Amino acid sequence: MAKPKPFKTPVLILKEGSSRSRGRDAWRANTTAARIVAEAVKSALGPKGMDKMLVNSLGDITVTSDGRTILDEMDVEHPAAKMMVEVAKTQDEEVGDGTSTTVIVAGELLGKAEGLINKNVHPVVIVEGYNKAASKALETLEKIAIPVKPTEKEFLKKVAVTSMASKLVSENKEQLAEIAVEAVLHVAQKVGDEYRTDLDDIMVEKKPGESVTETKFIEGLVLDKEVVHSGMPKRVEKAKIALLESALEVKKTEFDAKINVNHLGQMESFLREEEKMLKEMVEKIVATGGNVVICQKGIDDMAQHFLARKGMLAVQRANKPDMEKLAKATGGKVVTNLDDLTEKDLGYAELVEERKIGDDKMTFIEGCKNPRSTAILIRGGTEGIVDEAERSIHDALCVARDVVQEPKILAGGGSPEMEIARALRDHAESLPGREQLAVQSFAEAIETVPSTLGENAGLDPIDILSELRSRHEKGEKWAGVDVFKGKINDMKELEVYDPLAVKKQAIKSATEAATMILRIDDVITAGKMQAPPTPHGGPRKMPSAGYGGMPPPEH
Ligand SMILES: Nc1ncnc2c1ncn2[C@@H]1O[C@H](COP(=O)(O)OP(=O)(O)OP(=O)(O)O)[C@@H](O)[C@H]1O
Ligand SMILES: [Mg+2]
């Protein structure tokens, strides 16, 4: 058979502008990008970690040491770097804390893998070794975890304090931890032998002003809205609350309408008709027995006036999630059509009151039908501090919830990581050749947690690791980095505790991210889409949506 003739012209498979990298080049590029991301959060780990100032394209400034926030705000471009950002997101959504740890460990796992690849260990073998190491690590954590009582405030508070030790608001960690734990216990529900906690039941509102010490736990809800009319009562006891989704206004036509008025009387009767309609709307609410109205949309001035005359308290433009929370808390129903409103749809609260908070007014709904409804009102000197306090309280709420749901804790300061490394080194001996190398690399990678904690506290990472290794060999399983004294100490005695759930998820997420990136040996990047140039050289316009992203047809 005749041999096929070689092609004279190159065969183009990819579109113009696409790029492709394969094999080692692809690994190297991905690993480098992911490690740079990990490097960026490294200095923020632990109580002695530094904060980062991030300025977005609009010039907004965020100062934080929260791993997820740093990565979110960094707005990275490289696909492997984006995967790391996703990992931090997953960690945050699953357990709410440990995002920095996860990203740092994932970066280190990739760094160690690069060393192995250079020694000709195939990535598939590394992936297998890493997976085995991860399951051994999880087993070790389960083994050393300390069981606690799910509703015991003492441990929940210690866990919450640890999670806030590394934040900007750490000075107020005791008080904020107390608030977070109280809120979580308030919404915890027993289901069978376990407790379930839905953090959506906790409303978190923030208002710049005063100081973080003025942050309060509220048994009820709080809306960042004021009572709409000065003639309305500012306080209603035994409130029966109508929750309306539609506006208390006369509907406007969707098209421009013209009304020809020939004499003044017609104009007056037109206005009177509008007034009558608004009055009827208010009458409908009054007829159900309601004395408070919370409206998701606007309330017409005239309707406000009628409501005030009836002695009702009204709030307008509450946002949708708040409406849902209000319905859950007060046992009411959000009604779309006012005609459907009945007495049964009204929610109940002991007290609805407008209070002055700083320069603004907020509406408090307390003593709700559902006793579990809870809110936290965060205060702080500036908007930046209030935002960071919110992120810290989020972490504290999450870790307290994690322990309520899975009542096991670990001492922190890198001590569980050292135990994992020790167990892995023992385990590695039982494995064949190259996999053994991968498991040992995993052990070294996980040790980056204590060494980074130490490094951030100004200690020498090599000294720290060698002392920690020898003390763990001797059976001191809670020996970790005491970042405040600058030496190795028993973390259990120092009462630095992290939830087991956070550490387990960190191992899982970090391993998944690293192995996913390691498996990629081909990166194909499509060329960037560009808007077509305009015929007259004028400013470029994006293609209109009507053509499904295609350039508009030529006329
Ligand atoms: N007083 C302390 N002494 C030593 N280590 C501590 C102390 N308090 C907390 N840590 C440790 O600091 C680490 C947590 O640091 P940090 O909160 O900065 O990062 P993260 O929880 O991994 O991520 P993030 O909070 O940004 O989501 C944990 O390993 C924890 O055990
Ligand atoms: Mg943390």
Please write the tens of the pLDDT for every residue from 371-382: 888 899 999 888
Cβ atoms within 10 Å, residue 416: 27
* Residues near ion ligand 2 (Cβ under 5 Å): 97, 163
Per-residue pLDDT at 538 exceeds 90: no
CB 456 within 8 A of CB 483: yes
Q: Which atom of ligand 1 is nearest to the CA of 65?
A: 26
Give 280-292 pLDDT, tens digit per residue: 989 999 999 999 9
Closest CA to 320 of 294, 342, 339, 338: 294
Q: What pLDDT was estimated at residue 5?
A: 66
Per-residue pLDDT at 29 exceeds 90: no
Give 315-333 pLDDT, tens digit per residue: 999 999 899 989 988 999 9
Per-residue pLDDT at 311 exceeds 50: yes
15 DSSP 8-state letter: P
Residue 4: pLDDT band with limits 50, 70, 90: low
Per-residue pLDDT at 369 exceeds 50: yes
User: Which tokens sit at 73?
Assistant: 């705000």
| Cα–Cα distance for residue pair 11/548, rounded to 1 Å | 29
3-state SS assignment for residue 475: coil
163-176 mean pLDDT: 85
Per-residue pLDDT at 165 exceeds 70: yes
> Per mean pLDDT, which range of 397-401, 415-419, 521-525 is the poorest?
521-525
Angle of helix 433-446 versus helix 415-428 axis, rounded to 10: 170
458-486 mean pLDDT: 93
Give 62-89 pLDDT, tens digit per residue: 888 888 888 888 878 888 888 899 999 9
Residue ranges around ligand 1 (CB below 6 Å): 44-47, 49, 65-68, 97-101, 162, 165-166, 395, 412-414, 449, 453, 481-483, 496, 498
Residue 483 Cα, ligand 1 centroid: separation in angstroms? 10
Instruction: Specify the pTM.
Output: 0.82
Q: What pLDDT was estimated at residue 534?
A: 53
Q: What pLDDT was estimated at residue 172?
A: 87
Output 256 or 222, whichever has higher pLDDT. Answer: 222
55-66 mean pLDDT: 83
Average pLDDT over the chain reads 87
| Cα–Cα distance for residue pair 89/92, rounded to 1 Å | 5
User: Which tokens sit at 259?
Assistant: 């009304």
3-state SS assignment for residue 215: coil
| Nearest CA owner, ligand 1 atom 5 | 413
Per-residue pLDDT at 100 exceeds 50: yes
Q: What pLDDT was estimated at residue 347?
A: 93
Which of 188-202, 267-281, 498-512 holds the top average pLDDT?
498-512
Output 412 or 57, whichever has higher pLDDT. Answer: 412
Amino acid residing at 513? A
